[in-house]
Structure formats: structure tokens, C-alpha cells
Amino acid sequence: MHRLFGLRLLHQLVNQNRRRVVVTGIGLVTPLSVGTNSTWNRLIAGECAVDRITAFDASRFPIQIAAEVPRSSWGDLGPCRKINCKKLQDEEFFDATRILGFSEDDKKKTPEFIQFALAASKEALEDANWFPVDATSLERTGVAVGAGITSIPDIIEANRLIESSERGYRRVSPFFVPRILTNMAAGYISMKYGFQGPNHSVSTACATGSHSIGDAFRMVRDGDADVMIAGGSEACIHEVSLVGFSRAKALASSYNDSPQRASRPFDKDREGFVIGEGAGILVLEELNHAVARKAKIYAQVEGYGLSGDAHHITAPRSDGHGAWLAMKRALDMSGLSPLDIDYVNAHATSTPLGDEIENTAIRRLLSLHCGKERNGPSRNGRHPPDVLAVSSTKGAIGHLLGSAGAVEAAFTVLSIFYQTIPPTLNLDCLPSEEFDLDYVPEKAKECRIRAALNNSFGFGGTNASLLFTEPNI
């Protein structure tokens, strides 16, 4: 108790002069829908976006399912694409012409991960009502957007041209290299809106989106910018990536005939993840700056923890120490106690090893919660959950790889804003007694969320955890 009090006092002394950072805008392009409101509504309703692959003929592969962003070019998908799904409205399909004003030539020249990032950024900026024109504001607004995997079709096409004839190399586009650089999404956003603050990009596999948001948070907190557009984007559902992950035995392989049952985080029958795509963008803003312009404030960013497993190129440590360390560092930065955390938006990808290890790390860090009933003050008639709530939204949207952390950070922020926890789909049976938390199976849970952790872990042993709270204005 004395140590906890001392840590809180130290945190207050260290942070009393630090700038506070809030979320004022959200933009989403996901397999459920294009747009934040429609995605959130479908997520909370328990809909699932996993289906048989549309982008190419996957019939010759052992795995034939994915969570694709719905595209207008597909035509009418009908009402049965998702569980309990109402027919998608026109505005819920991705259409770069409608959303971005792109010509057919623009679409060909711009890789899809950049298109997704531009669309999500546009929505986030409109949500935040932030379109500065004065020089100071433009110089104080930056971008931190990354991607986990580059544009695979561009690499395949360049190689095809080179191999097509002795002089085939001359047909390779002079823009080939810029098209495959993962920082180009950030570059395009910066150029489109004239933002001259930090222009930053990371590529840390499935932790990319979280690292981008966390780094942007630090830039605002430390005074490098007043506003940051931060997140991740991914568009790599392709024969090569499907085969690569399949050969690594990372994907769910038994659900080609029942794709909506494939992604099942924490369930005893989980067997691998479902590859997905999309983009998530948050507008992060210094609190006083946001208040001065009367911006809508969704939540506050209070913590950011990073760690490395130093263990294996794909597998996490069996004791979950890396995940524990990332969450602990985020918690320590915030100055909160484990009992202040009401919800964890888990990385849980539906793999046998990863979900179990993350659960171990969560229970270790937040052990005061486990199996303990708690009472806390209500807000708008809603109390904090009696037992720590943990859910994974990957049952609904699959694993979005480099954009997963950003999209799930947006879900975490929306959970705080709407006081509603998204469900974990396909959780029919917990695997052991070690899974003793509230994993919010199948149905969304309405409750007060004072503070929430959002986890993302990537190949190479890279871990990130973000901590969001109710706005403290």
C-alpha cells in the first residue's frame, strides 16, 4: 500500500507539468464496414465479417477464408454475408472514387493500404473538425501512420515484368519503390492536408498501429506537436500472404465451410487466426488545444508501454513476461492501480499459444481483479464491471495485422465513450480454469469503463500496450 501511494505521488510530481493528450477524432475502414459509426454498430450487434475470399480464387489453397474490406466493385453481396447482418448500405462499401475523389488512374497508381489510410484519415479529421489553414497550426500538426506488410501486388508485378523478357526491367514503373515503402501512407496524408509537423512511420508487424499511436501520444505530450493523426493500415490479402501464413501454421484451417466460426479467441477449439485488412486512425490532441476549440473528446491517453520478448521470431515467451511488461509499463506511466482497469481489449488472435499466454499476463498484472467482485461509482447509471472484463474483437473482424492495433485502439476508445464492451464471438467453451475472467462471450456488455488497456503483439517479439481513460477535464 505504501509503495503504491509512493508511486502515485512520484507520478504526480513527474507529470504535473506534462501536457495531457486526448482523442478527438476516429476514422475506420474495416471488414465490417467503411465508417466508424456503422462499424461500431455492427460490432456491438455481434456481426462477423469473416467469409470466403472474394479478391482471388482461393479454391486451390487449404485456407480459403479472410476478413476483407467490402468493396463497391464486388456488386451486391446480399444480406447473408455476415451473421445476423442487415444488407450493407452503399456508403459502407469502400469506393475510392466516392470517398477520395479518385479517378481510375489514381486507383491504379495508389496502393490499397494507402487508399485505406487516406479514407480513414479523412473521416477522423472530419470527426475532429480539424482542417487548419494557418502556418502555425499546419506546422504543429503531424502524422504517424504505419503498415505491417508492404504492397505485395506491386512486388509481384515488378518481378513479372522483369522476368517477361530480356528488357522487361524497362517496363517497371519509376514509382515502384515509393509504392512499396510502408511510410508512404503517412507521406500521402501529410501532403494531402499540408501537415508539416512530425512525419513518422513504424513497421512492427502486428504491433504497428499501437506503436504509431503510442509514439504520436509521446510527440504531443512532449511538445513536438499539438495534433497528431495516428494509426495503421493494411491491405495484404493476397495469394502470397495467405500461403505464407498458412505454411507457418498460423491460420485457422478447418472452417472453409463455416468461415464465420473460424476466429474464436480464447475458445478451447481455437486453432489460428483469420487474415484481415483495413485501417484505423485516431486524432490525438493536446487537451487545452482541444478544449479551446470546443472539440469533442472521446477519451484520454494515459499510458504507453513497450517491450521485447527476446525469445523467438514468431512465438511469445511461455510465461507471457513480454506482454506483462508492456502492460505494466503503460500502467506505471498512467499512475493508476490495477483496480482502476475495468477492461482489457486483448490482442488475442485465436491461436492456441498466444491467447493462453496473454491471459496469463493479464491475470498476473491485474491479479487484484481476478475473481474479485468490486464496487465503484456509477456514471449515467452504469457501474464498472464486477470482474475484470477482457474481450477480443478479432472474432468479428479477423486479424488486421499492421492495422489491428489502431482499429482495436479505436474500439477501446469507443468502449469508454459509449460505456459498452464489444463481445468476443465464437467463445463457446473456455479451455481451462485459468480462464477465470469475464471474456464477454457473444453479447456486448454495458457498463462503466473508467480505464482500459489495449494490447498488440507482433512477430519478432515486439509488444505494445496503450492505456485510455475517461476524459479528465
* Active centre residues (catalytic): 206, 347, 399
H or E element at residue 24: strand 21-29
The three-state DSSP-derived secondary structure of 51-120 is EECCCCCCCCCCCCEEECCCEHHHCCCCCCCCCCCCCCCHHHCECHHHHHCCCHHHHHHCCHHHHHHHHH
CB 232 within 8 A of CB 145: yes
CA distance 55 to 340: 44
The alpha carbon dihedral of 329, 335, 339, 342 has a sign of negative
Cell of 299: 477519451
Bridge partner residues of 146 (DSSP): 232
What element of type H or E holds 286? strand 278-286
Q: Are 231 and 280 in contact (CB under 8 A)?
A: yes
- Rg of the Cα trace of the chain? 21
**At 190, which amino acid appears?**
S
Per the CB < 8 A criterion, the answer to whether 462 and 207 are in contact is yes
Distance of CA 415 to the CA centre of its chain: 14
CB 466 within 8 A of CB 409: yes
Cβ atoms of 348 and 356 within 8 Å: the answer is no
Collect all residues with Cβ–Cβ distance below 8 Å to 305 and sequence separation of at least 6.
Answer: 325, 326, 327, 328, 329, 330, 331, 332, 333, 463, 464, 465, 467
